[in-house]
Structure 1
Amino acid sequence: MADTVFRFPAPGSDPITADLDGWKKIEGNPTMKTWIQHTSADGSVISGTWEATPGTYHATYGSYEFVHLIDGQITITPDGGTSVTMTPGCAFTVEPGFAGTWKIEKPVKKHFCIKLK
């Protein structure tokens, strides 16, 4: 039987450093690091840790994401919508079909869980 509880280890020394699919730099020169630390047995969900430096991305989402912000500050603005600022301790979701900006105002570290299928 597969393990049914998984504790994240500390992020490793080999993150993914490419910008996420659907994310385009539009202000500054932000960088990101992604550690996929767990994949569900059926491959439909990934979770891990993500870090980013200040700057702004325009992001388009094809999947559902749950986020718990550990460090930093982000102002998220849906295209044509109202901005919301997230600070450490905030937990939030982003629905598939979201399109808008993520302005990373202070270096960010978050845990994420993304439903792929």
Structure 2
Amino acid sequence: MTAAVLTTVLANAADAELEDWGPLDEATGSPMATHGLEVWVDGDKSAGIWQCAPGPSHWTLETNEVIYVVSGRMTVTPDGGEPSEVGAGDLAVFPVGWTGTWQIHETLRKAYAIF
């Protein structure tokens, strides 16, 4: 017997209509509006699109995350490390336990996978 495997496809991540996810909890300055769309969830694993307004935020990750930046740009600085510029077309991997800041310069839209 073969189990059916469903494939989830979001045809255009750049133009997908997103839901209001409220202000970013990790913001360290003025409130930062977020929007998103989960396209796949399996327990504590998920994938989707996330968008955030400009501003600073500080993160301590409890999961692994891979992102592909669809639009916008930010500076990512691990605590005690060197900053990296991340923008449209870039792929970044943040391992569980990563701690640092994201300074979003232009509204950022990313495709993400959390696992």
Between the two proteins, what is the percent identity of the paired residues? 22
**1:27 to 1:15, Cα distance in 2 relative to 1, 3 A:** closer
Q: Which range moves more in the overlay, 80-89 or 30-39?
A: 30-39
Pick aligned residue for 2:29 from 6, 11, 27: 27
Count how many residue pairs are aligned between Structure 1 and Structure 2: 110
**CA–CA distance in structure 1, aligned partners of residues 94 and 105 of structure 2:** 19
- Tell me the secondary structure at the aligned position of residue 21 of structure 2: coil
Question: Shift of residue 36 of structure 1?
Answer: 1.4
C-alpha root-mean-square deviation of aligned residues, in Å?
1.9
**CA–CA distance in structure 1, aligned partners of residues 20 and 50 of structure 2:** 9
Unpaired stretches in structure 2, ≥5 consecutive residues: none
CA displacement 1:57-108 (0-9 Å, x = unmatched): 0111010001000000010001111100101000111011111110000011
Q: If the length of structure 1 is used for normalisation, what is the TM-score?
A: 0.82
Q: If the length of structure 2 is used for normalisation, what is the TM-score?
A: 0.83
**CA–CA distance in structure 1, aligned partners of residues 26 and 18 of structure 2:** 25
Which residue in 2 is equivalent to 1:67? 67
**CA–CA distance in structure 1, aligned partners of residues 27 and 75 of structure 2:** 15
